[in-house]
Homo-oligomer: A and B are copies of this chain.
Amino acid sequence: MVGTTTETRSETLENVLAAAASAARPLAELPPRDRAALLTSVAEALDANAAALVPLAERESNLPEARLTGELARTTFQLRQFATQLREGSFLDVVIDTADPGHPLGPKPDLRRMVVPLGPVLVFAASNFPFAFSVAGGDTASALAAGCPVVLKAHPGHPELSRRTAEVVTAALADAPRGTFALAEGLETGRAALLDPRIKAGAFTGSVTAGRALSDLAGSRPEPIPFYGELGSLNPAFVTPGAVRARGEEIASGFVSSFTLGAGQFCTKPGLLFLPSGHGLADRLAAAVRGVTAAAMLGERIRDGFTSSLGALADVPGVEPIVSPAVEEDGRVSPGLFGCTVPTLLANRDTLLRECFGPASLVVTYEGNDELFAAADALEGNLTATVHAGPDERDTAGPLLERLRDHAGRLIVDGWPTGVAVSPAMHHGGPYPATTSPLHTSVGATAIRRFLRPVCYQNAPQELLPPPLRDRNELGIPRLVDGRVTTEHLTAKEN
């Protein structure tokens, strides 16, 4: 059902890159409110085209209509949230230190800092969120919000949807500088664009293998550029004995719902569940897994990857199937669950501490806190880590969370990692291999920071300062002036 991806012709890519480069300065100069209007216009256009886009997405991704409708709503919500942020203005991170002739280290000049866009950004779309992490997804929204032109490398999993979405976005950006947004297709095209000196940052969501290769490529350029990859995550969940006693069955069902949601094709899918030995939940877990309807995966390549990961997992001595996954005749996949102990896990890290993308997970039983903590310490970087504990088990949950904090970007208590709220406090990131840049998030308000760099003006006269840095705070944005946050104008000084 999926259309064909063709490599963008090199002359076309050259035009796209030249236009993006020439759009960079006018887009950067656009007042934040005007950029907000552009984002709102993209959101409105996507909403208005939902009836055309959702069926296309359904056909190319095999995801159900309700999920896709919700995902499109999330995508346009996100665009509007960045628009709100642009109007509020604190993202500009304005700091003004007025001149201080009596500074202890000697006379200090007038210094005014704000952030400015990095320049054209190459965004690699993901397959598993054909709206929210694709053409008009979070990376595109945050790069455009930052004032960076976007070259969008389409994911081959949904080429027709990508083209149609790009048309909607391009039309909605009719008032933006020419070159603000363009689509590019094909693996080689993506690599060529990433190596082009006019591209100033990359963003990617996908596998560790592909993401690391692109990250290395970005780092190999004569001018290396920031590359924000969201790669692989196991999203381990830890359950204490008290939590099993208090609500073991609820936890078992919650876990199965979470790891099978969307056929297990979420970057936040819990791929490991740690249960105390003798937990008594095996039957409940097995029943819950068997109760999940088989579902089509995003595409054949993804399904092949899943079955090959499963094969490697099942081959590890000490790993036993609780419920064997199966690929039906029509290609749909029913979920699987495996079991092993902490010593088996630790002895087979290369296989068992690797993400398996799809509806399968591993239940690991532990003997006491030493094994629990050893397993936590063995983890690589993750987007999330989850703890279920009883209220009288803070002595376990406390040190466990402290350990997990070294290995995850989001710590969830008594819940599940799937479902990433689009919210200012959200952090969707984590140490490698969860991301290639542990300082940054790809979801939430602060995602914009990835595409902004500071610039400081020293002793510049008013008329040479960009508007956010002038004495007269005509944008009414919050600014840190001589150590105090204020939205007021600066009173005239003798500079």
Give A contacts to B, CB under 8 Å: 24-25, 29, 70, 73-74, 77, 95-97, 103-106, 108-109, 111-113, 116, 118-119, 215-216, 219, 223-226, 380-381, 391, 394, 397-398, 401-402, 405-406, 408-415, 419, 421-427, 429, 431-433, 436-439, 441, 446, 449-450, 452-461, 463-464, 478, 480, 483, 485
Question: With the chains together, A427 CA to B115 CA distance in Å?
Answer: 10
- In the complex, are the beta carbons of A427 and B456 less than 8 A apart? yes
Q: Which residue in B112, B425, B450, B455 is a CB contact (below 8 Å) of A112? A: B425
- In the complex, are the beta carbons of A413 and B459 less than 8 A apart? yes
A-B contact pairs, 25 of them (CB 8 A): A24-B406, A70-B105, A73-B104, A95-B425, A96-B425, A97-B421, A97-B425, A109-B415, A113-B427, A119-B406, A215-B224, A223-B431, A224-B436, A225-B432, A226-B439, A401-B460, A409-B454, A410-B456, A410-B458, A412-B459, A413-B460, A415-B459, A425-B456, A426-B456, A439-B452
8 additional contacts (CB under 8 A) given A223-B432, A446-B454: A97-B425, A225-B432, A411-B457, A412-B459, A414-B459, A415-B458, A427-B456, A429-B453
Minimum CB–CB distance for A440 against chain B, Å: 8
Minimum CB–CB distance for A77 against chain B, Å: 6
- In the complex, are the beta carbons of A422 and B455 less than 8 A apart? no
- In the complex, are the beta carbons of A113 and B426 less than 8 A apart? yes
Q: Count this chain's copies in the assembly.
A: 2
Question: With the chains together, A215 CA to B225 CA distance in Å?
Answer: 12
Minimum CB–CB distance for A119 against chain B, Å: 7
Contacts of A97 in B (CB 8 A): 421, 423-426
- In the complex, are the beta carbons of B119 and A456 less than 8 A apart? no
- In the complex, are the beta carbons of A480 and B424 less than 8 A apart? yes
Q: Which residue in B108, B409, B436, B457 is a CB contact (below 8 Å) of A421? A: B108
Question: With the chains together, A439 CA to B223 CA distance in Å?
Answer: 14
With A113-B427, A425-B113 already in contact, the answer to whether A464 and B398 are too (CB < 8 A) is yes
Question: With the chains together, A433 CA to B411 CA distance in Å?
Answer: 37
Contacts of A112 in B (CB 8 A): 425
- In the complex, are the beta carbons of A441 and B454 less than 8 A apart? yes
- In the complex, are the beta carbons of B411 and A460 less than 8 A apart? yes
Q: What residue in chain B is nearest A413 (Cβ atoms)?
A: B460
Question: With the chains together, A118 CA to B407 CA distance in Å?
Answer: 10
Q: What residue in chain B is nearest A386 (Cβ atoms)?
A: B458
Minimum CB–CB distance for A477 against chain B, Å: 13
Q: What residue in chain B is nearest A458 (Cβ atoms)?
A: B412
Contacts of A223 in B (CB 8 A): 380-381, 431-433
Question: With the chains together, A419 CA to B105 CA distance in Å?
Answer: 10
Ranked 7 nearest A-B pairs via Cβ: A427-B456, A111-B425, A95-B425, A97-B425, A412-B458, A113-B425, A427-B454
Question: With the chains together, A106 CA to B394 CA distance in Å?
Answer: 30
With A441-B454, A456-B411, A458-B412 already in contact, the answer to whether A464 and B401 are too (CB < 8 A) is yes
- In the complex, are the beta carbons of A111 and B226 less than 8 A apart? no
Contacts of A425 in B (CB 8 A): 95-97, 111-113, 456
Minimum CB–CB distance for A185 against chain B, Å: 28
Minimum CB–CB distance for A250 against chain B, Å: 15
- In the complex, are the beta carbons of B413 and A461 less than 8 A apart? yes
Minimum CB–CB distance for A395 against chain B, Å: 11
Question: With the chains together, A5 CA to B456 CA distance in Å?
Answer: 38
Minimum CB–CB distance for A130 against chain B, Å: 17
Q: What residue in chain B is nearest A445 (Cβ atoms)?
A: B95
Minimum CB–CB distance for A380 against chain B, Å: 7
- In the complex, are the beta carbons of A424 and B95 less than 8 A apart? yes
Contacts of A118 in B (CB 8 A): 438
Question: With the chains together, A113 CA to B427 CA distance in Å?
Answer: 7
Contacts of A219 in B (CB 8 A): 215-216, 219
